[in-house]
Chain A
């Protein structure tokens, strides 16, 4: 089983980034297909939100980061998480509620994170992670760390929140090395772009914030790698916050409870509705790596099956053993428990 740890980033960096993209995307797709079937089988506690069709844009961010960087993923970022080095088994643990998971059953699914690996556990409130990521970066700068980058993502809908605006603005004021990747998939749940904002292109907003903007076809993984990779590089070089807007579609419902029938059929059959996995497979074949692709896919399947099997035997959270204290206070803990 290949747990790709953040700590192995230096050896990873020598790998072809498109190979790392391919592996992260394949592992994400295979895992999410598995999660969808576990959801239908009633084996998952809570909702399942997938990144189907958005793996390329997401993976590019994760792969472009390295140890010491920080990732604040959102709901469609399985590929980015795996590309950055989140252990796949931890993702499975979060969905199946294993006590050994990073959130120990106190929180689950997409809300998982691991601060020791530089992965912030998202809160649900859209836009909130932008300023929090900026805060991590400000702290790193105050601690005199060098060469670090933070990356967070958002949907087209999340860009309408005050929180998103405040966060990007403050990052720009502080000239922080923050990359914000907006996955414009045309819809926020069922709400289309024209009910979400009145500008023609979200990328135009970069100018208003005083940050560099980058547009990309989110269905083209090679282009995603190039553009997101460049944005991360610019942030690392000290060029301040970077706004990336990738256009694509989500090729699934908002969550697995939703059939997504409101998505415009014409849009679906256009280039915007291409499946980035197929595009990437062709791109890899064109490089003469078709056989590797098949092998990586098989390895991903084995890894996912192995992880699900392993986690199914792990302990679940126990209310009698749980430490029901919401504050960290040592000494005064008892007083706090009394509330």
Chain B
């Protein structure tokens, strides 16, 4: 038997519903239909009245979750695609994120975002929104890259007293598999060295971890050992693990699937440059998608996003400096 990344997300929600009567799920088509990606399949039958279909009202979906969280519930809101969460941004950024600071009372809720590009998805079904959410104080932003993390981090997200933006990568939903669900978990706020190496650090998160691992494999054939750091959670950012890795390798490439202006990879480079300048043997570099909307056709899309090939090229440049 094996479990996919999507199975893990479904299983985590099932476990949370089982363990905590204050948990409920809210989203478009999540009820009997089981969700656009089937992340809530069979949950409505198992937990009557707690897996609720919402109207197409992202602002009200998040607003309703904020109110419910203030009243002691733990709502898990599914956006059909991360891209549509722009319509609910106000409630998330200005309401959910400010509640604890303004009132001293927690606002425990999870916003699940089916994120990232897949072939043929185009400009409005491919976005990665982590940087926008991470910019606002009061939110936790998670970007799991593995089946194990999808499961354990979602459980942790639901149990947290804060609003959590949970960025799930759609490309990993069906293809990424593990033998079983994890019995133990690494705490969600710790980054993880996904592959050790001595020559260069490649910081990545979400689906880019797998591209980075493939790039590291390619470089291994050329005699270079790249260390891949999986951020797991981008806000708060585990700067210590990143700096410790750069202390070993002296070189840094930060990779992100989202756009190049600002964002997580820029934050990583900025922290290493200002807090770990003397550790560096080469200028720290970034690799992101191109600065255009995300293209529809696979020919364009695969050139738009960082891939193992482009990451390997960028790593070689950092190594050559």
Contact = CB atoms under 8 A, between A and B. Distances in A.
Contact of A103 (B62, B97, B103): B103
Nearest to A334: B236
B63 interface: yes
B137 A326 contact: yes
A106 interface: yes
Interface string A154-179: 00000000110011011001000000
Contacts of A327: 100, 137-140, 161-162
Among A125, A138, A169, A338, the most chain B Cβ lie within 10 Å of the Cβ of A138
A135 B70 contact: yes
A312 interface: no
Nearest to A329: B162
Contact of B68 (A106, A123, A138, A329): A138
Among B59, B66, B97, B98, the most chain A Cβ lie within 10 Å of the Cβ of B59
A199 interface: no
Contacts of A38: none
A161 B57 CA distance: 13
Interface string B222-255: 0000000000000111110000000000000000
A81 to B, nearest CB: 16
Interface in A115-149: 115, 120-121, 123-125, 128, 130-140, 142-143
Contacts of A337: 236
A136 B72 CA distance: 9
Contact of B102 (A103, A142, A330, A339): A103
Contacts of B98: 123, 326
A113 interface: yes
A332 B187 contact: yes
A113 B105 CA distance: 11
Contacts of A137: 67
Interface stretch (B88-96, B123-131, B143-151, B288-296): B88-96
Interface residues of A, number: 45
Nearest to A104: B104
B189 to A, nearest CB: 5
A256 interface: no
Interface in B150-188: 160-162, 187
B70 A136 contact: yes
Secondary structure of the A contact surface, majority rule: helix
Contacts of B90: 125, 128, 163
Given A115-B70, A330-B161, A332-B236, A169 B137 contact: no
Contacts of B58: 166
Nearest to B187: A332
B122 to A, nearest CB: 24
A135 B67 contact: yes
A111 interface: yes
A131 B160 CA distance: 23
Contacts of B101: 106, 326
A162 B68 contact: no
Contact of B140 (A102, A136, A169, A336): A336
Contacts of A123: 94-95, 98
Contacts of B60: 130-131, 134, 163, 166-167, 169-170
B49 interface: yes
Given A115-B105, A128-B63, A328-B161, A139 B94 contact: no
B97 A326 contact: yes
Contacts of B71: 135-136, 139-140, 143
Contacts of A330: 161
B298 interface: no
B73 interface: yes
8 contacts: A128-B90, A131-B61, A131-B66, A135-B67, A142-B49, A142-B73, A169-B55, A170-B54
Given A131-B59, A166-B59, A332-B236, 5 more contacts: A121-B103, A131-B91, A139-B72, A328-B106, A335-B236
Interface of B: 24, 49-50, 54-55, 57-73, 75, 87, 90-91, 94-95, 97-98, 100-107, 137-140, 160-162, 187, 189, 235-239
